[in-house]
A and B are shown apart, each in its own frame.
Chain A
Amino acid sequence: MINLIRAELRKLFSTKLWLWLLLGACVLSGGSTALLIGFSDQAAASPQSGIPPVESDAFSQLALAGGANAVVFFLILGIIGMTQEYRHRTATPTFLVTPKRGQVVLSKLLTYLGISLLFAVLVNAVVVAVALPWLSAKGAAVSPSGENLEVLLSSIGGAALYGMVGVGVGALLRNQVAAVVGALIYLFVAEPILRSVPATDGAYTFLPGGALESITATVGNTDLLQRWQGTLLLAAYGIVLAIAGWVFAVRRDIS
C-alpha cells in the first residue's frame, strides 16, 4: 500500500493540476476573508446584513472560516485524481501493474485524504495570514487559539474529507466531466433545493453538504449534526461511494 500511495503522489505531482487547484483554493479562501474584513465597515452600517460587529469573536471566527469556502476545490481534486485514469487511458498500465483494482481505489482514498489535509493547512495558513494582521489593525485582538483554532481545524477537516469523497464520486462515475459537473450541480443546485423544501430539509442534515456544514458552520445551527457526527458521516460517504465505485464501475472491463 505504501508503494501505491507513493505512485499516487508521483501521479499527482508530475502534472500541474495540483498547483492550479491549490492556488485557486488559496485565492478563493483568502479572497473571501479579505472581502469580509474589507467591507466590514459597510456591513456595520446596515445592521440587517446579519454580520456581527468587527470587534466581536463571532466576526473573527467568520473571517477565519474563509477556508471553508474552498472545500469544493478538494472535491474536484479527488474526482480528477480518480477519473484521470480513464480520461487519459492510464487505467490500463495502472491495472496491469496492480491487477487487484480495489487496492488502487484504496490507495487513492488515503492519498487524497492526506494531500487534501496538507493543502487545507496551506489554504488556512493563507486565511490566517490575511485575517490576523488586518483584524488587529481594525482593533480586534485575535489569536489562533481556542474557538478560533477550532474554526480553522474544522475547515481543514472538512476539506480533507471532501478530497476523499471526490475519489469516491470519481470511482463511481469514471467520466471526468460528468463526475465534476454532476458533483457541482448536486452541491449547488440539488442540495439547496432539498434544503429549501420543508418536506426534505430534515434529510439535508444527513446529506454530504449538511454533514460538511455541521463541521464548518461557525454560527450555531441547531438542526445540524454534532461536529463529530458530521465528520464520521462525511468519511462514511467517501468510503461508501468508493466501495460502490469499486463494485459497480472500477471492476468493469477496461477496453
Chain B
Amino acid sequence: MSAPTKTYAPATTQTRIVVSDLSKRFGSVHAVDGLSFVVEPGQVTGFLGPNGAGKTTTLRMALGLITPDSGSATYAGTLYSSLAHPSSQVGAVLETAFHPGRSGRSHLRVYCAAAGLPDERADAVLAQVGMTDAAKRKTGGYSLGMRQRLGLATALLGDPQVLILDEPANGLDPEGIQWLRNFLRHLAHDQGRTILVSSHLLAEVQQTVDRIVIIGGGKLVREGTIAELADPARAWVHLRSPNAGTLHQELLDAGAQVETSSPEELTVRGMPIAAIGHLAFTSGVELHELRTATTDLEEIYFRLTAGQEEFKGASNAPDDAPGAAPIPAPAAPEVPSREVSS
C-alpha cells in the first residue's frame, strides 16, 4: 500500500512471488485447483481462507515440499528448488515442531551450518524475536507462542528478502500478536521485503496486511488491497428506529439495498452512512442507532466461511452480522478488485 521507504538497502532486488495455475489433488479431493495470485514486495499480503481451503498445501507447493500436479510458484522468476541460497532468499515458517530434546539455540545452529551462515546469526535472530532468555532451554518445554517465535527466528536466519508464514499468530498472546504485526509491517514497509502471511481468521490479518488473497475450496475467491475491500464507504450499515418501516421505503427510493432483521432494525448497503443519517433527518425519522456493521471484506469472508463450514445455524451469528436471514448474493464490486467465481 505505502511505498517502501529507502531506509534499508537490500542485498538483492525486491522479490515478487508469482503463483501460477497451481493445482494439487489428494485422491479425489482438489486441495488446490488452478490457483494464481501475485505477492508484491514492500507489502504484507494476507493469505486468507477457512480451514481446509488449501492454504498450507499452496504454501508447501510454493516451497518445494509438495510437488504440484500442475503450475508453479516463482521468486523473481526462479522456482524455490532452483534458488542458489534458499535460506538467504526465502524464509518460511510452516511448522512449530522441533526436536524436543534440542535447545532453541542448538536448533538454529544446525541450520546455520546447513545454510553456510555464520553461527552469530543464531543469537542475532533469537534477539530479534525476543527469545534470548529461552535460547538454552529445550524446545520440548516451549509454549506454542515460543515455538512460533523460534520458527520465525529460523526463517530469519539467512536475512531473506521474502518471508512466508503459515498461521504465525496461532498461540501468540495479544501482546505477541501486536508485536508480530509491527514486526512484519516494519520488514515490509521500511525494508521493502515481501511478506505472505496465512490465516483462517480475518480479524487477525485485517489490521496487519496491505493486500489480501482469499481462497476457498482451493480456488481464488478474491484478491485486492485492504483499502479496496474494507472501504468504509462500501460497508453495511446497521440502524435501529421506531419508524423503521417508513425509513425502509425512503432508503429503497434512494437506491439503497435494505434488509429487515426485526421490525425496528434495518441493514443498509450501497449508501454511505452519512447519507443515511441525512435521509433520516430530512424525513423526520427518529434514530436509536446508526453504525457501520461490516465491511465488504468481512461480508465476503463471512459468506465464504458460512458456506464452507456450514454455519447455517445463523441464530448464533454475532449481532453485527447482517441479520440472521440468508445473505443475498453480493452486488457486483464497483471497486477495481478482482473477483473470481468459485
> Which residues of A are interface residues toward B (Cβ below 8 A)?
3-4, 6-7, 10-11, 14-17, 84, 88-90, 92-100, 253-255
Contact = CB atoms under 8 A, between A and B. Distances in A.
B110 interface: yes
Contact of A7 (B64, B80, B92, B111): B111
B60 A93 contact: no
A17 B102 CA distance: 11
A11 B112 CA distance: 12
Contact of B109 (A3, A10, A17): A10
Interface in B92-137: 92, 94-95, 97-103, 106-107, 109-111, 113-116
B65 A7 contact: no
B74 interface: no
B63 interface: yes
B143 interface: no
A180 B142 CA distance: 28
Contact of A6 (B87, B100, B113): B113
B86 A254 contact: no
Contacts of B66: 253-255
A3 B116 contact: yes
B99 A97 contact: no
B103 A253 contact: no
Nearest to B164: A96
B249 interface: no
A97 B86 contact: yes
Nearest to B60: A255
A99 B64 contact: yes
Contacts of A255: 56-57, 60, 65-66
Contacts of B116: 3
Interface residues of B, number: 33
B112 to A, nearest CB: 8
Contacts of A96: 63-65, 86-87, 92, 94
Contacts of B64: 95-96, 99
Given A7-B114, A14-B110, A97-B87, A92 B99 contact: no
A97 B83 contact: no
B97 A7 contact: no
B114 A88 contact: no
Cβ-closest 8 pairs across A and B = A89-B97, A7-B114, A14-B106, A7-B113, A15-B101, A6-B113, A253-B66, A254-B65
Contacts of A95: 64-65
B115 A3 contact: yes
Q: With a 10 A CB-CB cut-off, give which of A10, A96, A255 has the most chain B CB atoms.
A: A96
Contacts of B56: 255
B114 A97 contact: yes
B98 A94 contact: no
A15 B102 contact: yes
Contacts of B115: 3, 97
A16 B101 contact: yes
Given A3-B113, A99-B64, A254-B66, A10 B106 contact: yes
Q: With a 10 A CB-CB cut-off, give which of B64, B66, B99 has the most chain A CB atoms.
A: B99
B95 A92 contact: yes
B106 A93 contact: no
A84 B99 contact: yes
Nearest to B102: A14
A147 B56 CA distance: 60
Given A97-B87, A254-B60, 9 more contacts: A16-B101, A88-B100, A90-B95, A92-B94, A93-B111, A99-B80, A99-B81, A254-B66, A255-B60
A10 B97 contact: no
Given A93-B154, A255-B66, A10 B101 contact: no
B22 to A, nearest CB: 14
Q: With a 10 A CB-CB cut-off, give which of B56, B92, B95 has the most chain A CB atoms.
A: B95
Contacts of A84: 99
Contacts of A99: 64, 80-81, 83, 86
Given A14-B106, A16-B101, A95-B65, A89 B95 contact: yes
A4 B57 CA distance: 27
B99 A7 contact: no
Contacts of B80: 99
Given A7-B110, A95-B64, A90 B99 contact: yes
Interface string B250-275: 00000000000000000000000000
A88 B110 CA distance: 15
A88 B103 contact: no
19 contacts: A3-B113, A3-B114, A3-B116, A4-B113, A10-B106, A11-B99, A14-B101, A88-B100, A92-B65, A93-B95, A96-B64, A96-B65, A96-B86, A99-B81, A253-B60, A253-B66, A253-B67, A254-B60, A255-B57
Contacts of A15: 99, 101-102
